[in-house]
Structure 1
Amino acid sequence: MRRRPPQAKIAQRVIPHDLRPVALRDELIELGDLFRAYQQRTEPDLALLADLQERKARAFTTWADVTCEGALRWEARRAEQAAAATRLQHQQRTGTLTGGIADNDGPAVARLLTVPAQWEHALSVLAYVADHTPLPGPEARLLVLMLTLRTAHTGTGNLIGQDLTALGLTDPQDLVDKLTSCGWLTLPGTTEGLLASRPENPTPITVPSLVPHEDQAGPFTFGKKMRPKLSGWAQKFISDKKLRKAKATAATRLLALTLATQTDASGRLGPGGQGIDLHALAAWVPVDSGELQHLVDQLTAADWLTDAALTDTHLTGQLTERVLPLTCPLRREAQQPSG
């Protein structure tokens, strides 16, 4: 009896023997072999690993295009994020990062998130939440972001009522009820109990989609020590005294958080300080263009943003010196203006 040849695999996925085009199948098989060979290395080679992750991202994107399987596209995005983080780690270790992250004429800033790899992790959470918030609107986006940061490593975490009431939500109870009704969030009791919970008796929460499974890693590449750093970073936006004094809405706080990840080293908005495209900004902060001016005005009043100008296509401006420690500057290659 003829024995079947072993199944070709990559990232625990079986590569179908009839996958076409053949060149794609050959690339996936080769990548699977290369990743397994890398795992056998006695010394890491971060430049090689970043190259492999970039090849995997391209191959999985093509695979997703061929099969229309959404999970493959998400795996491709994860590979892109892993490649970027690994590349930055390699540059930090080899000293080739100097001048590559930000403009050298920017002020020296002691940032809360200190290294580019942490900035990439913060951006990866924002991107994930933008794609996976189950409800529309900026209030739901901000709440899902904060809950994701609380539960990102294991899918579980603790919450108290003040965590919700501090977000500037119009109706936090209704929003939590909707998240539990659609299955995105699981509570051991009622929403009323969650809102009433205090630090000495927090409520355990679960986000099922973030619970890792044996055969599949979670959506984020950072570890358990990184999660509270990212959560603490985001909490700074929520608890900022001037934002609270200005009675900033949840949408304004979401915009503030987003802008902090879309600057150059000196705090100028957008790639190369040339401003942020409004279509791109709408993907991060889901508000109507007519509402955006009000949010910008709130940030200006709260001494968060200065020299802001809103056109039909871009938002330009400068984050104030007091909030520069919260920024996660764009990489130089992402800062070059198009054209």
Structure 2
Amino acid sequence: PPHSAQEAAGPRKVPVPRSAPAPRRPRHGKIAQRIVPYELRPLALRDELVELGDLFRAYQQRTEPDLAYLADLHTRKARAFATWAEITGDGCLRRDARRAEQAADAARLQHQQRTGQTPDGGRAAVARLLTGHVLWEHARTVLAHVADHAPLPGPQARLLTLVLTLRTAHTGSGNLVGQDVTALGLSEPEALVEQLTGCGWLVLPGTVGELLASRPENATPVTVPCLTPRQDAAGPFTFGRKTRPKLSGWAQKVISDKKLRKAKATAGARLLALTLATQCGSDGRIGPHGQGAGAGFAASRSAVAPGELQPLVDQLVAADWLAEAALDDTHLTGRLSERVLPLSCPLA
């Protein structure tokens, strides 16, 4: 008899049953050079450690710091490591937890100093003319640049160079009036300006006499060629056109401080005032952690020899700019007076 179609096709194949997929293992995690064990429980702790490791690595790739965020990361790490230590009894984890707490405190303190906040999160009583660490760093950068590149020796030339630099910092050009120069208390302002033009550092459209006679309604355009950005190279400063007048205004406030003028403070003393305003903590104490500024550093920034620094310190004390001042062979210690704290640019 004829075979059916099914018989012709042969015996029917029975499908092989699929095996159940193997359970997925939690993804590999690492934090602070430690491998997070797959078997670590509770899972919430393991997930937190893995996530923190990812967040710390991502933070390291940032181009700009966020100290408040970093402090929060360290706080979370301290809690997670403390729990991990309790579960495992690992003393090394406990020490890592304590170190994370210390790192959180340090980052939080830096954030408070840079933003002018008090430890309880409120605003500090000091309302600074320059707000925030970015502007404070720019101020330090300008002072350092002028100290390293002043074309003429001596504190009077340095002070005038600083004023001109701040007027022309963004493009290499700016406007100046006679009062900007004569208010500096220079012994021979006309001769100094002529020296700056004579060496090519400063370019004027007319004579020095015309510059000194100019008024706000007919300000003199001036150029500092070495500050003019070139196509093949950026200028020495990274701040923009809106920042330049803020820095210039801050320096002018310091230089023309009423008590400094009344005391007839020398150019060196005014340079020292600018230096100490940028080398103090948020409480006004001089130097990192209030440990003072190097005597050699303070003298060089004031464009004087180390042996000439004490008279400048005395002038600042007499003008109520500096208090509790003490100068020895290596350090200048003290603090800014309360009245000038608004002009300070605290160190991080």
Whole-Å separation in 2 of the counterparts to 1:93 and 1:253 = 38
1:309/1:107 CA distance change after superposition, 3 Å: farther
Matches for 1:129-140 after TM superposition, within 5 Å: 129-140=146-157
1:49/1:172 CA distance change after superposition, 3 Å: farther
1:107/1:321 CA distance change after superposition, 3 Å: farther
Residue 213 (structure 2) pairs with residue 196 (structure 1): yes
1:177/1:155 CA distance change after superposition, 3 Å: same
Matches for 1:230-309 after TM superposition, within 5 Å: 230-309=247-326
What's the C-alpha RMSD, in Å, of the aligned pairs?
A: 2.1
* Alignment check: 8 A CA contact 1:107 1:265 kept: no
Residue 159 (structure 2) pairs with residue 142 (structure 1): yes
Cα deviation per residue 1:195-247 (whole Å; 9 max; x = unaligned)? 11111111000000111112211111111000000000001012211111001
Secondary structure of the structure 1 residue equivalent to 2:108: coil
Output the amino acid matched with 1:203: T
Aligned-residue offset at 1:127 = 0.9
**Partner residue of 2:108?**
98
- Radius of gyration: which is bigger? 2
Aligned-residue offset at 1:149 = 0.5
Residue 134 (structure 2) pairs with residue 117 (structure 1): yes
**TM-score, length basis structure 1:** 0.70
Q: List runs of 5+ in structure 1 lacking aligned partners.
A: 1-44, 51-85, 332-339
1:214/1:266 CA distance change after superposition, 3 Å: same
Q: Aligned residues: percent identity?
A: 64
Cα deviation per residue 1:158-199 (whole Å; 9 max; x = unaligned)? 001110011121111111111101110000001111111111
**Larger deviation: 273-282 or 146-155?**
273-282
Whole-Å separation in 1 of the counterparts to 2:213 and 2:183 = 13
1:273/1:146 CA distance change after superposition, 3 Å: same
Output the amino acid matched with 1:193: E
Secondary structure of the structure 1 residue equivalent to 2:147: helix
Whole-Å separation in 2 of the counterparts to 1:93 and 1:284 = 35
Whole-Å separation in 2 of the counterparts to 1:93 and 1:146 = 38
Whole-Å separation in 1 of the counterparts to 2:276 and 2:340 = 11
**Partner residue of 1:335?**
none
Residue 61 (structure 2) pairs with residue 48 (structure 1): yes
Output the amino acid matched with 1:140: A
**Partner residue of 1:187?**
204
Whole-Å separation in 1 of the counterparts to 2:263 and 2:71 = 43
* Alignment check: 8 A CA contact 1:153 1:224 kept: yes
1:303/1:47 CA distance change after superposition, 3 Å: same
Whole-Å separation in 2 of the counterparts to 1:92 and 1:239 = 36
Cα deviation per residue 1:36-58 (whole Å; 9 max; x = unaligned)? xxxxxxxxx985364xxxxxxxx
* Alignment check: 8 A CA contact 1:277 1:314 kept: yes
* Alignment check: 8 A CA contact 2:322 2:335 kept: yes
Whole-Å separation in 1 of the counterparts to 2:244 and 2:184 = 19
Residue 234 (structure 2) pairs with residue 217 (structure 1): yes
- State the number of aligned residues: 250
Cα deviation per residue 1:75-125 (whole Å; 9 max; x = unaligned)? xxxxxxxxxxx43xx447877763115396796311111100110111111
Matches for 1:18-33 after TM superposition, within 5 Å: none
1:251/1:92 CA distance change after superposition, 3 Å: farther
Whole-Å separation in 2 of the counterparts to 1:113 and 1:148 = 18
Whole-Å separation in 1 of the counterparts to 2:205 and 2:62 = 42
**TM-score, length basis structure 2:** 0.68
* Alignment check: 8 A CA contact 1:166 1:238 kept: no
* Alignment check: 8 A CA contact 2:172 2:226 kept: yes
Cα deviation per residue 1:4-60 (whole Å; 9 max; x = unaligned)? xxxxxxxxxxxxxxxxxxxxxxxxxxxxxxxxxxxxxxxxx985364xxxxxxxxxx
* Alignment check: 8 A CA contact 2:259 2:320 kept: yes
1:305/1:186 CA distance change after superposition, 3 Å: same
Secondary structure of the structure 2 residue equivalent to 1:183: coil
Whole-Å separation in 2 of the counterparts to 1:159 and 1:92 = 41
